[in-house]
Amino acid sequence: MADRKLGVAVFGVGRIGKVHLESLVNRIPEAELIALADVGASELANVAARFGIGRTFADYRDALKLPEVDAVVICTPTTTHYDAIFDAASAGKQIFCEKPLELTIERIAAINAHVAKCGVQLMVGFNRRFDPSFLKMRETVQAGGIGAPEILRITSRDPAPPPEAYLRSSGGLFLDQTIHDFDMARYLVGSEVTEVYARAGRLVDPMFERVGDWDTAVVSLRFANGAMGAIDNSRRAVYGYDQRAEVFGSLGMVAIGNEVPSQHVRFDGDGGHSSPLRNFFMDRYTESYLNEMRAFIAAVRGQAAVPVNGHDGQMAVAIGLAAAISVRENRTVKIANV
């Protein structure tokens, strides 16, 4: 397959769908964008025109019928993931799906079983793994650069809450926001999370109470290798998208701080004044999204294993579900019991 382009269909042309479209159309010559599918006719037409794509479908199942579609990129709402993955796998397509895969372990397990049975691959959109700084942390830990990992710390704070409508179907703080940190925890430490204790509250906006969600959290983790971890989240950091992590070990520590859109610092009588952080994930993780899609295309073209699979998708959701139980019952929850 390496000698021809990979035919791709994208399902869902919302915010993240456009990110992947931009990569596939303009930046990844090894891929060819064949078709788009979205239930919203007007936005679908706009996006198709902008990217010069001829075939569009209201029903993604029509795109699955096209033999020149080798792979699908699923960016539709979480509630549609189950059916889309099932149908795509049944049609023999390679699959990339945004996180979270689904909101229950049972349904994710069913997805993974079906995908395996169909002999296709499923890659899950944990884009941070492809960010150069997080990747370098991972490589440093894997190479023994800090010895045995003992303590993980992640700070992950959004600049502002999403709309209430989004929140209602998001799966909640732990499956929508912290899920990235749960995946990073496994990825950076290189060991499975075995136990979680979480605190959460509504400090940002009464909206979170209305939708039965939380906006602020501190999560404590236990790993299979004996390491411990702490994650903190907020839905509102007025100074921008705060994304930091560190792994501490027997021989040292590796940490990453925030990125800024401009390196400038201004000094006056009050001290130094530096740039606000990158505004949000579209700015902060631009490069990771491109690298992620390149990795997906390269893996399926080369018949190699995708670098983030359905098991990864399942584990992050399991930790998220455990965290939510922990908050509600104010107790430690073992991941194996979720």
What sign does the dihedral 214-217-222-225 (CA atoms) show? positive
Per CB under 8 A, contacts with a copy of itself among 225-254 are: 226-230, 232, 234, 236-240, 242, 248, 250-254
197 binds a copy of itself (CB under 8 A): yes
Nearer to a copy of itself, 114 or 236 (CB): 236
199 binds a copy of itself (CB under 8 A): yes
137 binds a copy of itself (CB under 8 A): yes
Nearer to a copy of itself, 100 or 240 (CB): 240
Nearer to a copy of itself, 119 or 269 (CB): 269
Tell me which of 26, 46, 169, 303 binds a copy of itself, using CB under 8 A.
26
Query: Coil, strand, or helix at residue 144?
Result: coil
54 binds a copy of itself (CB under 8 A): no
206 binds a copy of itself (CB under 8 A): no
Region of 230 (left: φ > 0; alpha: ψ -120 to 50; beta: rest) is: beta
Instruction: Give 286-289 contacts, CB < 8 A, sequence gap 24+.
Output: 287/130, 287/131, 287/132, 288/127, 288/128, 288/129, 288/130, 288/131, 288/132, 288/134, 289/19, 289/20, 289/23, 289/127, 289/130
220 binds a copy of itself (CB under 8 A): yes
CB 283 within 8 A of CB 81: no
Tell me which of 20, 93, 99, 222 binds a copy of itself, using CB under 8 A.
222
- Return the range that interacts with a copy of itself (CB under 8 A); candidates 76-84, 119-127, 255-263, 292-300: 255-263
What whole-number distance in Å separates Cα of residue 224 and Cα of residue 319?
Answer: 13
Length of the chain: 338
49 binds a copy of itself (CB under 8 A): no
